[in-house]
Amino acid sequence: MKAFVTLDGVRKQWSPTVSVGPLSLEVARGEMVALLGPSGSGKTTVLRLLAGFEALDAGRIVVGGEDVTAVPPAKRRFGMVFQHYALFPHLDVGENVAFGLTARGAAAADQVRAKVAEALALVDLAGFERRRVYELSGGQQQRVALARALAPEPRVLLLDEPLSNLDPALRERTRRELRTLITRVGITSVFVTHEQEEAFDLGDRVAVLHDGRLEQAATPDELYEHPASLFVATFVGRANVVRGALAGALGARDGQIVVVRPERLRFADAGVPGVVRERRYTGAAAFYQVDTEPGDRLEVQAGPGAARVGERVYVEATGVMTFAEGGGGVRP
Amino acid sequence: MSARSGWFARAALTLLLAWLVLYPILVVVVDAGRGDALATFVSRPGEWGALWASVWISLASVVLAAVIGVPLAFLFEWLEFPGRKTLGSLIALPAVLPPFVGVVAFLFLYGESGFVARAVQAALGLTRAPWRLQGAGAILLVHAYSMYVYFYLFARAGLAKLDASMLEAAQALGAGRWHTLRRVALPLLRPSLAGAALLVFMTALGSFSAPYVFGGGFRVMTTQIVATKLNGELPLAMVETVALALVATLGLVVLRRTEGDDILAALGKGIGPLRRPIRRVSVRALATATGWALAVLLLLPHVTLVLVSLVPYGTWTTEALPPVLSFVNYRRLFGEPERLRPLVNSAWMAAASTAAAIAVALAAGALVGRRGGRWRGPIETLVALPWALPGTVFAVALATTFGAAQPWALRWVLVGTVVLLPLAYLVRNLPVTGRAVLAGYRQLDPAVEEAAASLGAGRWATFRRVTLPLLKPALAAGGSIAFVAALGDFVTSVVLYTYDNRPISIEIMGSLRISELGVAAAFGVMLMLASALVLGLGARR
Residues A90, B470: C-beta atoms closer than 8 Å: yes
Same domain membership, residue A214 and residue A81: yes
Same domain membership, residue A197 and residue A165: yes
Predicted confidence band of residue B187 (pLDDT cuts 50, 70, 90): confident
Of A182, A214, A234, the position where a domain reaches its end is A234
Same domain membership, residue A106 and residue A20: yes
Which one of B449, B454, B465 would you mutate to disrupt binding with A, by most A Cβ within 10 Å of its Cβ?
B454
For A133-140, what is the mean pLDDT?
89
Of A173, A207, A234, the position where a domain reaches its end is A234
Shortest Cα distance from A303 to chain B (angstroms)? 48
For B127-155, what is the mean pLDDT?
88
Same domain membership, residue A278 and residue A178: no
Q: What is the pLDDT of residue A332?
A: 40
Shortest Cα distance from B360 to chain A (angstroms)? 24
The pTM (predicted TM-score) of the whole model is 0.82
Give the residue on B whose Cα is nearest the Cα of A52.
B454
Residues B456, A152: C-beta atoms closer than 8 Å: yes
What is the rounded CA–CA span in Å between residue B493 and residue B509? 11
What is the rounded CA–CA span in Å between residue B490 and residue B499? 15
Residues B447, A100: C-beta atoms closer than 8 Å: no
What is the rounded CA–CA span in Å between residue B176 and residue B183? 10
Q: What is the pLDDT of residue B482?
A: 92
The DSSP line for B110-133 is HSTTSHHHHHHHHHHT-SS-S---
Domain CATH code at residue A264: 2.40.50.140
Query: What CATH number was assigned to the domain covering residues B46-309?
Result: 1.10.3720.10
Same domain membership, residue A310 and residue A279: yes
Residues B448, A86: C-beta atoms closer than 8 Å: yes
In chain A, the number of structural domains is 2
Of residues B279 and B511, the one with the higher pLDDT is B511
Shortest Cα distance from B373 to chain A (angstroms)? 14
Q: What are the pLDDT digits (tens) for B378-395?
A: 888 899 888 888 888 889
A78 interaction partners in chain B (CB closer than 8 Å): 454
For A30-56, what is the mean pLDDT?
91
For B150-163, what is the mean pLDDT?
83
Q: What are the pLDDT digits (tens) for B216-255?
A: 888 999 999 999 988 888 888 889 999 999 999 888 888 7
What is the rounded CA–CA span in Å between residue B191 and residue B53? 27
Same domain membership, residue A286 and residue A194: no
Domain that holds residue A37: 3-234
Percent of chain A clearing pLDDT 70 (strictly above): 97
Mean pLDDT score of chain A, rounded to an integer?
88
> Does residue A117 contact residue A129 with C-beta atoms inside 8 Å?
yes
Same domain membership, residue A136 and residue A168: yes
What is the rounded CA–CA span in Å between residue A267 and residue A264? 10
Q: What is the pLDDT of residue A168?
A: 82
Residues A149, B448: C-beta atoms closer than 8 Å: no
Same domain membership, residue A100 and residue A188: yes
Q: What is the pLDDT of residue B263?
A: 52
Q: What is the pLDDT of residue B259?
A: 64
Question: Per-residue pLDDT for A331 more than 50?
Answer: no
Give the residue on A whose Cα is nearest the Cα of B463.
A103
Predicted confidence band of residue A327 (pLDDT cuts 50, 70, 90): low
Same domain membership, residue A230 and residue A263: no
> Does residue A58 contact residue A11 with C-beta atoms inside 8 Å?
yes
Q: What is the pLDDT of residue B273?
A: 56
What is the rounded CA–CA span in Å between residue A37 and residue A203? 14
Lowest mean pLDDT among A41-45, A132-136, A180-184, B128-132: B128-132
Question: Per-residue pLDDT for B267 more than 70?
Answer: no
B457 interaction partners in chain A (CB closer than 8 Å): 74, 99-100, 103-104
Q: Which helix (H) or strand (E) holds B56?
A: helix B45-78
Question: Per-residue pLDDT for B265 more than 80?
Answer: no
Same domain membership, residue A103 and residue A58: yes
Helix (H, G, I), strand (E, B) or coil at A192: strand
Residue A30 Ramachandran class (φ > 0 left, ψ -120 to 50 alpha, else beta): left
Lowest mean pLDDT among A5-9, B413-417, B498-502, B537-541: B537-541
Give the residue on B whose Cα is nearest the Cα of A70.
B2
What is the rounded CA–CA span in Å between residue B465 and residue B462? 5
B451 interaction partners in chain A (CB closer than 8 Å): 80, 82, 86-88, 148
Helix (H, G, I), strand (E, B) or coil at A139: helix
For B337-350, what is the mean pLDDT?
92
Same domain membership, residue A177 and residue A77: yes
Q: Which residues contact B286 (CB under 8 A, 6 or more apart)?
A: none
Of A205, A234, A263, the position where a domain reaches its end is A234
Compute the half-sphere exposure of residue B200: CA atoms within 13 Å on the CB side of its CA. 34
> Does residue B382 contact residue B14 with C-beta atoms inside 8 Å?
yes
CA-based R_g, chain A, Å: 24
Same domain membership, residue A42 and residue A158: yes
Q: What is the pLDDT of residue B2?
A: 59
Residues A74, B448: C-beta atoms closer than 8 Å: no
Question: Per-residue pLDDT for A93 more than 60?
Answer: yes
> What does the DSSP 8-state code read for residue B262?
-
Which one of B2, B455, B470 would you mutate to disrupt binding with A, by most A Cβ within 10 Å of its Cβ?
B455
Mean pLDDT score of chain B, rounded to an integer?
85
CATH 1.10.3720.10 residue window(s) in chain B? 1-34+326-541, 46-309
Residues A75, B456: C-beta atoms closer than 8 Å: yes
Q: What are the pLDDT digits (tens) for A161-182?
A: 988 888 888 888 888 888 899 9
Q: What is the pLDDT of residue B269?
A: 46
- Chain B residues touching chain A at CB-CB below 8 Å: 445, 447-448, 450-459, 461-462, 465-466, 469-470, 472
For A189-193, what is the mean pLDDT?
94
Q: Determine whether domain B1-34+326-541 maps to CATH 3.90.700.10.
A: no
Q: What are the pLDDT digits (tens) for B12-67?
A: 999 999 999 999 999 988 888 887 888 888 888 888 999 999 999 999 999 999 99
